[in-house]
Structure 1
Amino acid sequence: MIALLITCAGLACPAQSPAPSRPTEIHDRISPGSNIHNNRVALTLDACSGQFDEDLIVFLVRNRIPATIFATKKWLLKNPPGLAMLKAHLDLFDIEDHGENHIPAVIGAGRKVYGIPGEPDILHLRQEVLEGARAIERATGVPPHWYRGATAEYDQQASDEIRRMGYKIAGFSVNADAGATLNQGQIEERLRHVRGGDVIIAHMNKPQSQTAEGLSAGLIELLRRGLVFVRLDQVDLEDIPKQPTHHEPPHVE
């Protein structure tokens, strides 16, 4: 018995795998830097799968509102006209990595977020990130530097690995359309609470939703208030104190 205890206290015993951490959202704001008043706001739009919300992009182009687009490989392949419109306005739009197949960044067999299965292991996570990045670079000629996973939730192992791969994770502070499920009035109400430094998340892959109408009205009001829109490649983000995870998906297919 004594010998067994000594053996298991040393390196002979296999290390136990750490229990997977609970997935959490990453909440970020724009770092003020030298901008004391920090009147900058970042609009980020996810293209998970689905279609192309042309009305929303036409509105942004007409009003010269920049945005950071997080597109999956699935969306890029399915929406050539939408991709062409974005590429025609790369002065406004920065296209970043939303993964290959819109799989949440949680690792472990059977794990899900909002009913969407995560990654069985870390190798599959790397493929999701890298193949998404390669699709962006092939489509635009510009390699992405930011990553946002499906559902915007991450376990610790996944977020650590994504950063080791050299990508910055894009969180948010204002969930404008709750996965393109809110109506115009609800979206406008959420945008009324936007302040300088906020990072807004919304969607551009559901033209049948009211996201375009809600953002069009709400963003114009933010411009009237003197807020300035920027892309994520123009700023740094900083984590804000942990908040409860929203009981609504910021991302859906």
Structure 2
Amino acid sequence: MIRSSSAFLLALLLSSAAMATPRWGTEAHDRLAAAPGAPATPVAITLDACGGAFDASLIQTLVDLRVPATIFVTKKWLDHNPAGTAVLLAHPDLFELEDHGTSHMPAVIGKDRRIYGIPAAPDAAHVEAEVAGAAQAIRTLTGRAPVYFRGATAIYDAQSLQIIRAMGYQVAGFSVNADAGATLPEADIAARLRAVRPGDIVIAHMNKPAGATAEAFAATLPQLLARGYRFVTLSGARLQPV
């Protein structure tokens, strides 16, 4: 009976793990391609603004240290954070806005599908609208069309990737997940940032000020700068899948 109960518990745990794993697509991973003749490949910081609030402390750290970042914004975040948006727009030399979707819907098609608990796009038309709505909002604010798209959860299926690319956008992956959706403690985020290497594309979040992302960046970025790291936005960069 004990063996039977143990087997049942193991099967339940394995089943739960499988259910928690996205089965409907793949996560996009990229690094910066080395530029011919460049002394060292830089690092790109990318910050997602999915929904929620504005992490003013994180952005102020970047401003104070003169560290540029590519900000992936949803239209939903822009609509609810006009003051935060104004701060980003006030520093065009540091921050560029790119497309994170209209309502933070994953770029995976299927009415019955959920990625990390978020409902997927019911059909192709919803994927197109998810990309186009945020793109138009960015054009209205900045006068420039976004080049990159990063979908909610960074999980994509083949059909959605085809749609996004046909619309003229490049999917932006990453190589270092710094804060796991702003859920990690400061020490863990700082450790991941200290392990960054030239060519890495870092993903973190600027929409959860209650998290520890701002504190970890404030503690770690000066160390990386002291080690000679150079930071760039994705504008003009060439991404290399990994």
Q: Which TM-score applies when normalising by structure 2? A: 0.88
**Residue 144 of structure 2, aligned match among 138, 142, 145:** 142
Deviation at 1:36, TM superposition (A): 5.3
Percent sequence identity over matched residues? 55
Give the AA of the match of 2:86: A
CA distance in 2, matches of 1:28, 1:133: 22
CA distance in 2, matches of 1:171, 1:119: 20
**Residue 171 of structure 2, aligned match among 169, 172, 184:** 169
Residue 57 of structure 1 corresponds to 59
Contact 1:187-1:218 within 8 A present in 2 as well:
no
Give the AA of the match of 1:230: V
Superposition CA RMSD, Å: 1.1
Deviation at 1:22, TM superposition (A): 3.1
CA distance in 1, matches of 2:75, 2:131: 10
Give the AA of the match of 1:216: A
**Residue 72 of structure 1, aligned match among 71, 74, 78:** 74
Contact 1:114-1:151 within 8 A present in 2 as well:
yes
CA distance in 2, matches of 1:184, 1:101: 28
- Structure 2 counterpart SS, 1:43: strand
Residue 31 of structure 1 corresponds to 33
Deviation at 1:35, TM superposition (A): 4.5
Gaps of 5+ in 1: 1-20, 241-253
Contact 1:39-1:195 within 8 A present in 2 as well:
no
Deviation at 1:193, TM superposition (A): 1.2
Q: Which TM-score applies when normalising by structure 1? A: 0.85
Residue 115 of structure 1 corresponds to 117
- Point out the structure with max Rg over C-alpha: 1
Contact 2:102-2:131 within 8 A present in 1 as well:
yes
Is residue 128 of structure 2 the alignment partner of residue 126 of structure 1?
A: yes
Residue 202 of structure 2 corresponds to 200
Moved over 6 A (4+): none
Contact 2:35-2:41 within 8 A present in 1 as well:
no
Contact 1:46-1:71 within 8 A present in 2 as well:
yes
Contact 1:39-1:226 within 8 A present in 2 as well:
no
What is the number of equivalent residue pairs in this alignment?
Answer: 220
Residue 180 of structure 1 corresponds to 182
Deviation at 1:161, TM superposition (A): 1.1
Deviations 1:183-231 (A, max 9, x none): 1111011112110000000000001111000112122211111110000
Give the AA of the match of 2:130: E
Deviation at 1:37, TM superposition (A): 4.9
Deviations 1:141-192 (A, max 9, x none): 2211110000011011111110111001000000000000011111011112
CA distance in 2, matches of 1:170, 1:35: 24
Gaps of 5+ in 2: 1-22
Give the AA of the match of 2:69: A
Structure with more of its chain in helix, by fraction: 2
